[in-house]
Structure 1
Amino acid sequence: MSQTAKFTTGSTMRHVVVMTLTGSIGLSFMFLVDFLALFWISRLGREDLLAAVGFAATVQFFLISISIGMMIAAVALVSRALGQGDPDRARRIATSAMVYSVLTQGVIAVVVFTSRDGILGWSGASGEVLQVASDFLGISVVSLPLIALGMSAAAILRAAGEAWRAMMVTTTGGLAAVVVDPILIIWMDLGVPGAAMAIVISRLVMACAGLYWVIGKGLIGRPGLDDLRSSAAPFLGIALPAVATQVSTPFGNWVLIRAMAEHGDSAVAGLGVAARLQILGFGGIFALSGAIGGIIGQNHGANMPGRVRQSYIDALKFCAVYTAAVWALMVIFADPLARAFGLTGQAAEVVHWFALIGAGSFMFTGALFVSNAAFNNLGRPLWATMANWARDGGLMAPLAFGLGAYFAAPGVIAGQAVANVLAGTLAAWIGWRFVSRGLDPAPRPA
């Protein structure tokens, strides 16, 4: 491996912008798969199918978040090793991290496949909607090891500063979905099962692209038992709390869909479309934590606390500008997009209110994710876990159900927005106090 610590020199703002925008493009293309599936299914003219895919997508987001948590651990350890000038150790850690991620998602795939009906029932699905969602999940869940492979590869590339290659890993999967979605769903008349098959194909393409680039750049080697054993403790020390942190967001989404289910399938269909718009439009916010993790990790590994602090500030600035721009676009285009998905009545109202009040709160979600990056890469991963669960486990349910009881479906969206504002403000303040004080030198990875 000939990689050097690219983030220890040059403008920190430039690194934040480049890594976040390329990360967001790649992540958005990955989530474009779900968005396109939902769009083409909407062409079938049935809101119950949209609701079914919405339930299944909520479960999928939970499972993908586990891979994101393991990806964060890979970025933290690989970037730190590179910052300390040890590319050989970075390669061994990267290889082990990829093996751990694929094996973990393989086990999860088996568990979810066998218990998917119960999981969907707990989420509020019933009758025909539950059956359709179960069929969708039964096909798509087998590709979890593939997405783990692709996301691990993208994380390793990002930790090494290979922004464009990391972006292209997930972009290739989205481009594959652009082609195969209409073919399978509409032209071959496979409907919802066709959408699930398209997800499997796109993840296969992403995994192949990721392997091609990490092998080509010499970022991974042949797995060895000694490396797997020696990397396990430091990897799990970050991965376990990082996974716990990441799954809080889909748990919060699960709370929202349960609260929205109280108002009928039409409201759930609207939330499904709003959720896809949220993930696609705010790809930069969702990518922020992973994107700046490598910047913070390399500078911490190189013992440059001033650049760590500046990276934190620059990430918050980026978050504010990005959210303002996307919020404006959401307000302008939300109603036309709802009509494009064939939504009317309550479903369209949910999308409208998300654009009006929910989207703006992502400025505070971004602040939460910036603090997460600081905590995960500076030796306080449990702080990130507590910050996220304070929002998704502590605030989301009482606010979503409480405001939903008074204001119906729009109240659920308002509950999400208030939770974002409260948790994001507190986490950003704690994160700034943390990076502002003197940081201990980074420990050398095993």
Structure 2
Amino acid sequence: MGLMAVFAVDLLNFGYISHLHDPALTAAIAFATSLSYVQISVSIGMTIGLGACTGRLIGACRHDEARSLASAFLLIMAAVALMLGILTAVFATPLLTLLGARGPALHHAATFLHIVSPALPLVCMGMALSSLLRAVGDAKRAMRVTLTGAIVAAILDPIMIFGLHLGLEGAAISTILSRCMIMASGFMNLRGHDMIEWPRKEAFLPAARRIGGIALPAIATNLATPVGALFMTHAMSRFGLDAVSGQATIDRIAPVAFALVFALTGSVGPIMAQNLGAGLIPRVKETLLAALQLTALCVVTTWLILAVGHNVILDLFNLHGSGVEIVRLFCCWLVASYMFVGLLFVANTAFNNLGHPFYSTGFNWGRATLGTIPFVWIGSNYGPIGVLVGQSLGVVVFGTAAVLTAFSVIRRLKV
């Protein structure tokens, strides 16, 4: 619910921008968020390391050690996020140019990143605090953290964009204020769990070593998805702003439609980590099976809803030309490929929490390179529709291989 709220607000925000009737603005937010996803993926990778390490320690009844490492790593995360945010803001224009952004779309996208990127530590800290709440088993309060930010953004977006006539800059300001509330909510909801202390100097190196040992490969794993998305955006840019807008619409529909699948990566991890720490191997396998069943249920239900309501979606987002064809094909047919995206995500969560983080790195990068580039390159010869079909075919191969490997890893676990 928390993730769905965040993604739904992002979808609404994109809808607001599309109704300004300026294709350059719609394409600009597509280009800018492609780079923002890279930043968020680094943040998610660090929170995966934090959650997996603290969850395992809590499962082994070593709460004091978990608190010490978590407190030190929070400051490390903030420093890394700040550096990444500033670098993105400084090099926004050349990076966007590499993606294929030109003219007004390039100018608007760069402006958006100049405003939003330096505020990356705010959302990174909020995500980390939410991860700690899940690690101690308090999923309800973890949900409140993301819900708070989503509610603030939902209120401020129309005010900033339409009420104050700030357009894309208004959306950027709303994003920063929402991130402030996410971090504040994280600290407020974590009170009472005794998971934060003023970090001691001697705790930084162990925290960087132990949590970083999981976080670094998790970051590498998570970077694969936005890198693949960057390639998709570049491929679509060859076919004009309508094609870019169509792809951007899909990129915002999918997280809302499959919020359950994306949430599994955060919620299943602590369950696996705690049971591994407690030596309860059968429960680890049971968790993986339950996650796969939930994924299948979510995909089938979503496919039916999107296929029936695709005309409503086309009207809501003011799509034109090739953008209409792209979104219609996705809603009616290619949405089924997200079953294999779910298999890949759940398998990667298992790898990260069961001591094989480099497996998830390999599978994610395999999907982003061998499972994307050749398929999309061949598909691009048949227009933007071919690009989308190529991407969908690639994930089938790597999603299937990843989940089979995850079951093999669990069979080899020892108490």
Check whether TM > 0.5.
yes
1:292-311 matches, cutoff 5 A: 292-311=268-287
Equivalence for 2:122 = 146
Cα distance in 1 for residues equivalent to 2:95 and 2:105: 13
Q: Which 5+ residue runs of structure 1 have no aligned equivalent? A: 1-24, 442-446
Partner-residue secondary structure (3-state), 2:333: helix
1:329-344 matches, cutoff 5 A: 329-344=305-320
Residue number among 375, 386, 395 corresponding to 1:420 in the alignment: 395
Moved more, 208-217 or 230-239: 208-217
Cα distance in 2 for residues equivalent to 1:111 and 1:216: 36
Cα distance in 2 for residues equivalent to 1:210 and 1:401: 43
Equivalence for 2:69 = 93
Distance apart, 1:357 and its partner CA = 2.9
Equivalence for 1:126 = 102
Does the 8 A contact of 1:33 with 1:202 survive in 2?
A: no
Residue 411 of structure 2 corresponds to residue 430 of structure 1? no
Equivalence for 1:63 = 39
Residue 339 of structure 2 corresponds to residue 363 of structure 1? yes
Cα distance in 2 for residues equivalent to 1:431 and 1:110: 37
Distance apart, 1:389 and its partner CA = 0.6
Equivalence for 1:265 = 241
Residue number among 337, 360, 363 corresponding to 1:387 in the alignment: 363
Distance apart, 1:30 and its partner CA = 2.4
Distance apart, 1:150 and its partner CA = 0.4
Distance apart, 1:328 and its partner CA = 1.4
Equivalence for 1:242 = 218
Distance apart, 1:324 and its partner CA = 1.0
Partner-residue secondary structure (3-state), 1:221: coil
Distance apart, 1:29 and its partner CA = 2.2
Cα distance in 2 for residues equivalent to 1:168 and 1:214: 11
Cα deviations across residues 223-254 of structure 1 (Å, max 9, x unaligned)?
22111122111111101000000011111111
TM-score normalised per structure 2: 0.98
Partner-residue secondary structure (3-state), 1:395: coil
Residue number among 117, 140, 157 corresponding to 2:133 in the alignment: 157
Residue 78 of structure 2 corresponds to residue 102 of structure 1? yes
Q: Percent identity?
A: 34
Cα distance in 2 for residues equivalent to 1:342 and 1:92: 51
Residue number among 302, 307, 326 corresponding to 1:326 in the alignment: 302
- Give the AA of the match of 2:227: F
Cα distance in 1 for residues equivalent to 2:286 and 2:135: 19
**Pairwise CA RMSD of aligned residues?**
1.2
Distance apart, 1:356 and its partner CA = 2.4
Partner-residue secondary structure (3-state), 2:199: coil
Cα deviations across residues 256-283 of structure 1 (Å, max 9, x unaligned)?
1111111111100111111100122111
Cα distance in 2 for residues equivalent to 1:100 and 1:170: 22
Q: Which 5+ residue runs of structure 2 have no aligned equivalent? A: none
Equivalence for 1:411 = 386
Equivalence for 1:22 = none
Cα distance in 2 for residues equivalent to 1:404 and 1:125: 18
Residue number among 355, 367, 378 corresponding to 2:354 in the alignment: 378
Distance apart, 1:117 and its partner CA = 0.3
Cα distance in 2 for residues equivalent to 1:232 and 1:58: 28
Does the 8 A contact of 1:74 with 1:97 survive in 2?
A: yes
TM-score normalised per structure 1: 0.91
Cα deviations across residues 197-234 of structure 1 (Å, max 9, x unaligned)?
11101111101000111234322111221111221111
Does the 8 A contact of 1:361 with 1:421 survive in 2?
A: yes
How many residues are paired up?
Answer: 415
Does the 8 A contact of 2:281 with 2:414 survive in 1?
A: no
Equivalence for 2:152 = 176
